Amino acid sequence: MICCCRPRRRLVAAVRPSIGVSLCFTIAVVLGAQSPCVGQHSVARQWDEAILSAIRVDTPRPPVHARNLYHLSAAMYDAWAAFDPTAKGVFVHEKHAGDAAARNEAISYAAYRILSHRYSLSVNAAASKTAFDNLLASLGYDKNVTTTVGNTPAALGNRIAQTIISASMNDGSNEANNYADTTAYASVNVPMVVSHPTATDQAHTPLADPNRWQQLYINSLTAQNGIVLPSNLQGYVCPQWGPVTPFAMHSAGPNSWSDLDPGAPPQLGGAGDAVYRQQAVDLIRLSNSLDPAQGPGAAVINISPAVNGNRPLGTDLNQGYAVNPVTGQAYADNFVKLGDYGRVLAEFWADGPHSETPPGHWNVIANSVSDNPLLQKRIGGAGPVVDDLQWDVKMYLALNGAVHDAAIAAWGMKRKYESARPITMVRYMGGQGQSSDPNLPSYHADGLPLEQGLIELVTAESIAAGGRHRNAFLTANQDHNGDFFPFFSEQDLVGKVVIHAWNHAPDDAATQTSGADWILAEHWLPYQMETFVTPAFPGYVSGHSTFSRSAAEVIASFTGSAYFPGGLEEATFDIDFLKFEDGPTQPVTLQWATYFDAADEAGLSRQWGGIHPSMDDLPGRVMGDVIGRGAFRRATALFQGVPEPSALALAAAGLAAAWGFRARRLTAPRWTVRGAL
């Protein structure tokens, strides 16, 4: 274990324009804190910041927060549209005369009522409600004005909120019961005790189906007799979300996302078996590359847009950019250690507990784009420059309509295919043995393939004190306090499969780095907080990938360019940024030329973090592409006051979208099998 003795500083990493203009809002915002430039922002922006703060202190349920972001955005847009002669509302179609003050008031009451209602279910409901009350009061409005009758701006805003709340109460989310499961989900697999070297429990109960999702016991205690007592069992988050009413998505199939379904993921022992096996090895290879002090993680790589990014849709093939199209100059080199890059990427895009979750993260990115002085606020990149309020309400509607639809599609796929997470893939295959040579010990057809230096078999010599694999013995024999407990003798581990991978969370994440070392394959952990480990829902398809690509499509269409303002966006992370362990070893600057580059790295981050293999990630990106385009089309039609299409037209559009989706699948490989890094 590599120990670093530097004192730990709390760092907030800001997504900032490459020209060096600091932003008013950073990635982490304290609940209720006001930006120093809040007065320069529209009321819509201020309410968007309010919901992001509320999300950060709530339970991380991405579909729930995507729905709340969408309904907040629809409420603000409908209030704005009520004073516009052309625009058509989403839920409410009233028209009123009024000035800018009336519009701001209607928007604020609509936003306040939506947020106060929705976050009354939050685990930090009181704190969020206080923040909403304070914002409404700071804008000069009285929360006690609750009437929905009449033509005053307050009544209009309250009426819009009430209409949305009522219309969405039976949308399939089960909001009335705090989004509890309505599908009677029951896993076929025994839960995994994460702390113990096993794919299931201390008795090594067989998995019923290694291709299907498995719940985790996140915590455990070790009794005096050596019995491991698990606790904190994951509950499936939002398995009922597939039928939720969407914003723009539609299909000719039984669900709004049916035409986007790319089919089942690769199966161990079934269709796509070779891909499944290779991707399990790829996950181990990435885990081994998280150590910046040795091995592949110590290699220096160039992450400049000159060579990194510009990936064809649905692939991880970096083509880079010859020049920055805005400046006409080549992108400068940007060298970092591979291990630092992988760790920063995994943590920056993690969006787990205490974050705004992936849908909210893309609101943060959209807000930073809106703040960039190089941006001209022409919707679609054409027409007149619009004011901040019009820009914001329209951007939020399209963006959050897209991430809401992305949640429905991704969670529908998760429930349909119920696919295993990497922790199950690696531990199960490693527990079965090795699949390379029937003449070697521990052969099993479903085992991991042996690879010198990465996946090996334990011998009596290698597990003994001073032996090559000794660390696997030490880590396997730790209790819940990290103290030595003799669960296994050295002889017990002879013939077991070990992997060279991230060596679990360090004792002191503020000052220590775990690095990579030999551990039992049955003891592998993703690069995540030990109190989180893996999200509480199946893997396929990746929500991060679907959210991110759909959002990137909207921002690109809305701004009229795939490129960030100035042709470059950066996020710089100091040497104490990481939370899972100390680091990085040197400042790291992530760079993206386009919104799609950022979205792709959000998907890649889940591979580095051990949360998804690429077979979860890449199809999500392709689905997100279609979803984002569809959301922008519907939003644009509303902006222009175009009548809603008939059911027949929607069905035809669904078929057209399906054909377009299938065409993209023909040009983008369905699965990428990556070899050595």
What pLDDT score does 490 carry? 98
pLDDT tens track for 581-630: 999 999 999 999 999 999 999 999 999 999 999 999 999 999 999 999 99
Number of other CB atoms surrounding residue 652 within 10 Å: 14
What pLDDT score does 442 carry? 98
Output the CA–CA distances (angstroms, integers) from residue 575 to 8, 118, 579, in the order listed: 9, 38, 11
What pLDDT score does 599 carry? 98
Q: What share of the chain is helix, strand, coil (3-state, %, to 5)?
A: 40, 10, 50
Q: For tokens 């972001």, what's the residue?
A: 69
What pLDDT score does 140 carry? 98
Q: For tokens 């919707």, what's the residue?
A: 379
Q: How far apart are the first and last CA of the chain?
A: 24
CA distance 513 to 297: 13
Contact in structure between 663 and 655 (CB atoms under 8 Å): no
Query: Does CATH number 1.10.3720.10 belong to domain 43-175?
Result: no
Lay out the sheet containing 192-193: strands in order across.
192-193, 216-222, 228-233
Nearest to 411, CA basis, from 11, 55, 61: 61
Nearest to 376, CA basis, from 551, 549, 566: 566
Query: Does CATH number 1.20.1070 belong to domain 184-424+533-640?
Result: no
Does the global pTM surpass 0.85?
A: yes
What pLDDT score does 481 carry? 87
Pairing of strands 455-457, 335-337: unpaired
Contact in structure between 631 and 407 (CB atoms under 8 Å): no
Residues of the chain where predicted confidence (pLDDT) is lower than 50: 1-38, 648, 655, 658-659, 662-677
Does this chain's domain 43-175 share its CATH topology with 184-424+533-640? no
b/e map of 496-506 (b: 16 or more CB within 10 Å)? bbbbbbbbbbb
The region that residue 234 occupies, defined by phi over 0 for left and psi between -120 and 50 for alpha, beta otherwise, is beta
What pLDDT score does 229 carry? 87
pLDDT tens track for 522-551: 999 999 998 999 999 999 999 999 999 999
Rg (CA), the chain: 25
Domain locations in the chain as residue ranges: 43-175, 184-424+533-640
Please say whether the dihedral angle defined by the alpha carbons of residues 60, 64, 70 and 72, taken in this order, is positive or negative: negative
